[in-house]
Structure 1
Amino acid sequence: MPGTVSPSTQWRLFGAAWSLVAVLVVLAGGEVARRDARAAAVGQAATAGALHAAVLRSELERHRSLPMVLAQDPDLAVLLSRPDAAGAARLNRKFESLARDVRAAAIYALDADGRTLAASNWRLPTSFVGSNYQFRPYYYEAMRDGQATFFALGTVSGRPGLYLSRRVDDAAGRPLGVIVAKVEFDALEADWRASGEPTYVTDADGVVIITTVPAWRFHTDRALSVDLQRRLAATQTAGSTIPTPLPFDTDGADLIRVAADIPDGLYAVASTSIPDTGWRLTLLSPSGAGVSRAIAVARWLGALTVALLAALTGILLRRRQRATARAVEAEQSRVELERQIDLRTAELRSTNDQLSHEIDERRRLETVREHLQDELIQANKLATLGQIAAGVAHEINQPVAAIRTHADSAAVQLRREDSAGALRSLASIDRLTERVGVITDELRAFSRKTRSETVAVGVDAAIDGALLLVAGRLREKGIALERRRAPAGLAVRAERNRLEQVVLNLLQNAIEALDGVADPVVSLGVEVKGRRVAIHVRDNGPGVSPAVRQRLFTPFTTDKPDGLGLGLVISRDIVAAFGGELALEPGPGGAGFVIRLARAS
């Protein structure tokens, strides 16, 4: 039909349109990539240039104050006013040491006539001592203006450097001479060179004075100024013995510009001024290869994008034919996915039920463990009470016997109508009865089961309770007690009866360890360090054997013939439940233990 485009023509038009789009995208993408890469390179160069400039400023500031400080040196003023060999030798050594410390190339002093009296390189064949530098700008400008800065080649060393000079005046303000410090930048140039980015510094006249490319030194990056030509002509006319610091004639006929050595487009240039110097630092960051890579990548990405879009368009043209098949496949996939989800849900539910059962079983076992631990602690209490029963009975029998005696005395005194004596006997009975009550109350409190919640417990009160139960055994065995009481009101985070149990266990161990020891002693002390309180228990017995020491807090480890090896393990667990620790304490003799707890207030 007229006006109808055949399918083959449609595909040819489709291909031509996408080819044109591809060409436009590739060209536009390359241009955008070139601009972006160039901007990124310039930004990178600016950052690197700022960093190099900061390093140079730091180096200049570090040396700029050197001549000013040295100008105040009284030894220098004395030498300049009255030159002598001893003063010169003293300043030679001082300058030598100072130049080494501050990494200056040279430090030297010139008299009012420009003659060098002392220098840091006095030992070297290239020593400045005796040389006259009256013709050097850093000398006559400093004599005229008070200070000067000059960058040039050294007349002796032939090495470029920055000369910093300052005039030295006497008390009346009359000039005595000039102190000069030369700074070389070899190390700085080497550091810059390692970065791989050509860098150079120009002075106010555009002359390159510091550079990572030695061939650029003393070239210029612009045409000679009239003033610089005049100064160069004056220098040559004066017949100066120094080499001309610029490799060209004064009329600029042999001018070699640094910019001519830099191919256009291969570097991103960043320029930064150095304050207070008139210098400018220029850094050349290689950018040509990076820009080329960015353009190539952008063009490839553009071409790939166009190809992908063309392929996507072709795929979309065929989607209609495959829509029904994909819908069927999607439905089948959905059914299969739901079946898999149901199976996985059932598995997860079973796993969750099993995990819940295991958690309940673990909680039950934890409850049983806590119950058994409480029972073990209670058994240890009762065993301890059994060990001290004889001593406690003796503590009670004495007051009971005394009560009986006072009761008999009161009866006799009443028959004699001695009411005052009877009252005294009854008062004694009351005091003894109170003591028996205290002992029995302590026994009942110690023997009952307690909860492990930590509260504020008075340190001395807990120790007093433990001592009350072992006082009889201490007296029976003739053991001396040395006790250092805690500061008044000191309390720790613990539980009263369980803390007493730990102290009592340690005292019991100490009493048993002192069997057969001459002059047995048990010492008790309390020490406060910040928020921690330490209770020390020590005896002067044979101590803990080396074979047992490493396993002391392991269950069933003991060096006592009839011991079970559980007392210290239980005591350690009790203290750990309070958030503290029980440890063997090294000492000169015997055995010592320390209980460390958190302070309550």
Structure 2
Amino acid sequence: MSFSLRTKKNILITIILLGGLAITLKATHWFYLEQGYQDTAERSKQQMTELVNFLDGSLSRYESIPHVLSTNPLLKNALLNQQDGKSIQKLNLYLEEIKHITESLDIYLVDALGVSIAASNWQKSYSFIGKDFSFRPYYQQAISGQLGRYYAVGTTSNKRGFYFSYPVYEQQSILGVIVVKLDITEIEQQSTGIARAGGYEFAITDPDNIIFLSSINHWRLRSLTPLDQSRQYAIHASKRYASRVINELTLSPLYDAGATDEHNLYAFSSLKGQFDYMETHKAMAKAGWSVHIMAPLTPIYQSLPLLMTLYGSLYLLLALAALFGYERRKNLLRIQQANDLLEQRVQARTQDLQASNRKLNETQDELIQAAKLTVIGNLSASINHEINQPLAAIRSYAQNTKTMISRNQTEMVTDNINTIISLTDRLAVIVGQFKSFTRKSQSRDSATDINQCIQDALTIIKPEIDKQGVELLYRANEISGQVWADNVRLQQVLVNLMSNAIVAMQRSAPKRLSLTLVLESQLCIKIQDTGSGVQESQMEKIFEPFFTTSDRQGLGLGLSISRRIIDSMQGSIRVSNAQTGGAIFEITLPVYSSNKASPDHASQGDSFNEQKHSS
């Protein structure tokens, strides 16, 4: 039931987090997209103003040229005397000179019928002389007395140009029209440079929504609006674009020429792919143009994923922080409750734990005592033999004394009694040492003479050494070394190690037990036998509880307990194999320093005392 509730809670939290994340991403997308549109629109307005001003300035340089030229008498003379070749030629040279001065594309004079009679390109292969331009709107505007303006592709030169025209008067009558053709290629290049610097594209359309100037070549001479058959026919009939074919631009949605919005979004398709633009348009009434600023939206779209990722990450961090804070507060309350309950339980169980610790210590002491009794049990036969010899001798001397008393041999009785007393003292020493060893220790450490401790241990183990016929070599430095230890438990370790060594040498020859005492920075006791040694695979296991390699019955606790005893004395015990065969057990203990004896002042000579015992 609790698992089901927890699962439902986690699912609900996940749904809330994901819902909030979706709302955050949607809001970020909408806000920054709208903000990007607004910034782009404001920037496009400024760019539109700059571009229109540049175009107006570029066109206005040529606007007054036809009017000024119309006042020149050469034009009137040529129109009035069209058959005078000299006058026409003089005018041709004049127009050619003015063309170079004004940097115009062409300048030519048209009579009242619309036929060109003089031109700056009089010597070119595409000379305008003799060409009929009566169909051009700029001629029609000027012949009616107005300043003419018109954009078109020349039918003769096939070059794009903008035409300025003005009537040539003779008093109140119009004799003809002077036309100045401006090359718009240079204006287009300069406008393209401005657009590139501003990071946008531009297109300029005529009243038929056909692009004739653009910063993108692919857009040039293409229609923004769909071209049906009637429109195609009308454009072809006007000859504005000469013989060039006008195609449609592929954009989505379809361009709405009547849209009242200043800013519209369109996707333009080309061979390189589809690109989104914000279109801003403005009419140039004098020129009859419509200027379109196409601001690319790709930078806005490219920045959106990063912004959405950023705000989504911030949302998740805040949401997780809030969730973490809520869970932390709830956990703190839960922990506080648990601590209160735990404190109650601790108070309730402290007494049980203390009782258990007491029982554990008692059990450990009982285990150590059991190990000592096990050693004594294993040595019981040799102990009995050691005691029985003095008892048998005492019995024999007692019988002899009884006989001597009956014979009144007083002096010999005294000798027998003294011998019996000596044997009795010997028994008292043996029994006293075993009684002290088997007594339950209280584990009270004190300054312990290591030599005396070893002698006491040898007293216990000596009967077994004699019984098994083991040669004992005991080496000790001539020092009074002391350690801080429990005397009885240290004896237990020594007796256990020597007993194990005797067992290991049952099938060995010779049988030799070496006991070496070395004092350096620490006190080291080495016990070496001539048995079979310890297998390498058993080196680590030999001190584990219940592990034994002996054929005798036992629990395998002797070495484990010995290690625990030595560890409690801040010492260490390790085992290795001698090169000549047999095992070496090394006990290392820290030296006890006192005012009376200190290892820093003790003699560390190389002389040894050797005691050899053999059966």
**TM-score scaled to structure 2, two decimals?**
0.44
Q: Which has the higher helix share?
A: 1
